[in-house]
Amino acid sequence: MRFIAQAGALLALLSSFVASAQAPRLPIEAFVQPPMFSEPRMSPDLSKIAVLVNRPGERTQLAMVDLSDNNSTRMVAAVSTRDVVSAHWMTPTRLVFHVGQTNQLRDEPITNGLWLLDVPSGEVRQLIDDQFNQRPGRSDSPIKREGDRLLPWEWSVVRVLDDGSEDVMVQRIQWDATGEIDNFVLARLNTRTGKLRLETENVPARVRHWSVDRNGKAYACITYDGPNFGVHLFDQDTKSWKRWLTGRRNIDEWPFPLARLTGGDLLVSAYDKGSPNDNIRVVRRLKTTELGGGDTLISIPGYDWDGAAILDPKSNRLLGLTYEADAADTAWFDRDMKALQGEIDKKLPNTINRIQCNDCRNDNRMLVLARSDRQPEVVYLYDRNDASLKILFRSQPTINPADMAPREVLRITARDGLSIPIQLTKPLGASGPRPAVVLVHGGPSTRGNHWFWEGQAQLLANRGYLVIEPEFRGSTGYGAPHENRGRKQWGQAMQADLADAAKWAVEKGLADPKRICIAGASYGGYATLMGLIRDPDIFACGFQWAGVTGLEFLYSRSGTDIGDLYKSYDLPLLVGDPVSDAKMLADNSPINLAAKLKRPLLMAYGVEDTRVAIGQGLGMKKALEAAGYQGLEWIVYPNEGHGWRSLETNVDFWGRVERFLERHIGGAAPKP
């Protein structure tokens, strides 16, 4: 069976209701505040829904909706100085949840930890510590502290099991002598007793990823040995691990095991060798361990598959695959679920609708998560008995979709012929060339743009700016050639793609050639600086936050928290070798080119940033001052890290951006 995704026509249909009137000017808070409701999860008995709740001035808490009690809602878990970030049901009465720092200014040395909630009693108990209490490099830390059931922070959850046992699969970091992660030890944790059972028999060395089924059986693992990877499969007949494939990271193909299906078939994500799309990652079902055999289940021309498998909990049969082409969607292989998806889509024709179900074929109740480029996520309860849809939550209740700008997915041709995906967010009521912002995603090895409501782009569009978001070469998600052509191209061909996107918008009459600004964070901040240096005739100004200012910082201990293994084997391939490519790295470091930067610039950094240390920003500021540059607006947020967490910081920063753009490329929207 072969599935070819076609999303362009769907996006055209969903965007067909766009209004032409100019949108009202909305407060910055409407675009930068966290979702009020997120991450809903239905209980196994379909009687309750766990959901994360953000209330102004409070930590993210866990709430419970009782469907048998007229959808009554109550807060059930909150952790002092922590935010609940995810929750997973184990049984109808017990769930586990993780914590983090999503709404906190100052970074603390914490991990996600693990907490247990007994729903009937309301008892909350911690299972895995979230506070760093061991120094990296220690390989002798205990499995658990004496006298209690609390596991130390080196443990993390691999999978919450669906076998009714109240167990979770966990893994523990083991460090090598240099402080690098060397191995993950797999174990089964009983959440009621705290008892651990280690999975150590004939396990491969240096495991960095475990694939575990819903019953807690590990069926695959991936190992690292310096620059090399290995994929290992568990053989049911011999009850032993066998090495399946080996290769060099970032050079050789890396098939990723997704599931063991009924009958032993292996579901994998891999390049479809020998087909017209052999450089696109697809999903294949292998009846043997021969990668070249089996069936291709989903292939999306122009896109790598990146989604999840939906399995029947009883038979382990494959029901569907989530995926993302121009937009996210689900490919159902089960006839009944495909028909159900069609019925729901008829009821909700203006959104992409993802069905979330426990036992998809048999559940009478399920959740539908609906969203689009203009509609933040809305969660519905679907009842199979009467085919009804009822709204449960609006993630951003202050947002009216009619006031939001449409986002369009396009492809342009770069100067060397490479096809570059871009997203355009067009202000409502816009006509003729507009002042524009080229917004550059971070990473850079990631897919930066998605066809759903995005606050930053919508804020800029609400102020009247055309927003151009290129998926420049080096971005992932668009096939191996697109990703690989970004190697050693920081400040070069990757940068040219951004300039070409701006030129394209000018040629199409969308952007005013004298009023284009470039912006971004992290790598996007680096690209902002290089854009002002390389293309001052295109970019009239730039604003960046947490941006890399010198490529040599990527290889230092003080400038970034990137691990030594990645610095030694991955960065030389992706960015450049610090010895043999030293001149290229220096020639493409903004800090060395400060004298060439003449356009207005806003830079912002967080003192607590460990990914791009504030020293990088201070070094660039000093270099600009030494060159006599006087166009800098400099902002420091004392308690922020790599990106802004607090609502107050976001409102302050984007307010500064708004005023910066008004000064340098003209007020694009009328004042309130």
| 290 Cβ neighbours under 8 A, 6+ residues apart | none
User: Tens digit of pLDDT for each residue in 541-557?
Assistant: 999 999 999 999 999 87
What pLDDT is attached to residue 565? Answer: 80
User: Tens digit of pLDDT for each residue in 621-666?
Assistant: 999 999 999 999 999 999 888 989 889 999 999 999 999 999 999 8
What pLDDT is attached to residue 90? Answer: 94
**In this structure, are residues 534 and 495 in contact, taking their beta carbons and an 8 Å threshold?**
yes
Which tokens hold the place of 477? Answer: 């998600």
**What is the torsion angle, in degrees rounded to the nearest 10, for the CA atoms of residue 609, residue 614, residue 617 and residue 622?**
180
What pLDDT is attached to residue 484? Answer: 93
State how far the Cα of 85 lies from the Cα of 112, in Å rounded to an integer: 8
What pLDDT is attached to residue 309? Answer: 96
Strand partners, 422: 410, 470
What pLDDT is attached to residue 668? Answer: 60
Output the DSSP codes for 619-641.
HHHHHHHHTT---EEEEEETT-B
Under DSSP, the state recorded for 568 is I
State how far the Cα of 154 lies from the Cα of 66, in Å rounded to an integer: 35
What pLDDT is attached to residue 460? Answer: 98
Per CATH, the number for 405-665 is: 3.40.50.1820
State how far the Cα of 351 lies from the Cα of 348, in Å rounded to an integer: 6
Cite the DSSP H helix spans in 542-672: 564-565, 571-574, 582-587, 614-626, 647-665
What pLDDT is attached to residue 223? Answer: 95
State how far the Cα of 221 lies from the Cα of 277, in Å rounded to an integer: 27
State how far the Cα of 109 lies from the Cα of 133, in Å rounded to an integer: 9
pLDDT < 50 stretches in the chain? 1-10, 12-13, 16-19, 134-147, 670-672
What pLDDT is attached to residue 4? Answer: 44
What pLDDT is attached to residue 137? Answer: 41
Does residue 600 have a cis peptide bond before it, meaning omega lies within 30 degrees of 0?
A: no
> Taking the CB of residue 85, how many other CB atoms lie within 10 A of it?
17
What pLDDT is attached to residue 452? Answer: 96
Strand locations in 249-394 (E):
256-260, 266-271, 281-286, 295-298, 309-311, 318-324, 328-332, 352-356, 365-371, 378-383, 388-394
pTM (predicted TM-score): 0.92
Q: Where are the domains of the chain?
A: 405-665
**In this structure, are residues 375 and 453 in contact, taking their beta carbons and an 8 Å threshold?**
yes
| Ramachandran class of 15: left when φ > 0, alpha when ψ lies in -120 to 50, beta otherwise | alpha
State how far the Cα of 442 lies from the Cα of 526, in Å rounded to an integer: 9
